[in-house]
Amino acid sequence: DQQVKQNSPSLSVQEGRISILNCDYTNSMFDYFLWYKKYPAEGPTFLISISSIKDKNEDGRFTVFLNKSAKHLSLHIVPSQPGDSAVYFCAASGTGNTGKLIFGQGTTLQVKP
C-alpha cells in the first residue's frame, strides 16, 4: 500500500523554464511534507518542507504547494537550471518528531541547457 505516490518517473524541461513535480498521498493524518533531492552516489538532501496548516512555502527558486482536500502537493522550480537535474523525492510524516518519513518513488528531473 503506497501511501505517497509520485506518478511521473521522469520529467524533462528546458533550462529557464518551470519544473513542476507532483506528489499524491492517501493518509489524511500526515501533517508534514518534505521534498528531497538526490544526486547519484549521494544521499538525499533536504530541499523544502511544508506543514499541513499551510498551503504554500517558498524558498528562493523552490515553492511547494499543498492541496489538502485533493491530498496533493507539488514542487515548483523556477527558473530551472541544469544543476537541478537529480531525483526528487516527496516524503510525508505524521505527528511528532519520530524521524519516520514515508517516501514516494521519486521523479528524475532532467534540465536541458
Partner 1 sequence: SAVISQKPSRDICQRGTSLTIQCQVDSQVTMMFWYRQQPGQSLTLIATANQGSEATYESGFVIDKFPISRPNLTFSTLTVSNMSPEDSSIYLCSVGGISGANVLTFGAGSRLTVL
Cα–Cα distance between 61 and 55 in angstroms, integer? 17
Does position 11 interact with partner 1 (CB under 8 A)? The reply is no
| Interface positions, 71-90, toward partner 1 (CB under 8 A) | 89
CA dihedral 19, 40, 91, 66 (to 10 degrees): -10
Angstrom distance (rounded) from CA 59 to CA 43: 21
* Shortest Cβ 36–partner 1 spacing (Å): 8
32 binds partner 1 (CB under 8 A): yes
Give the residues lining the site for partner 1 (CB under 8 A).
2, 4, 32, 34, 36, 41-46, 49, 89, 91, 93, 97-101, 103-106
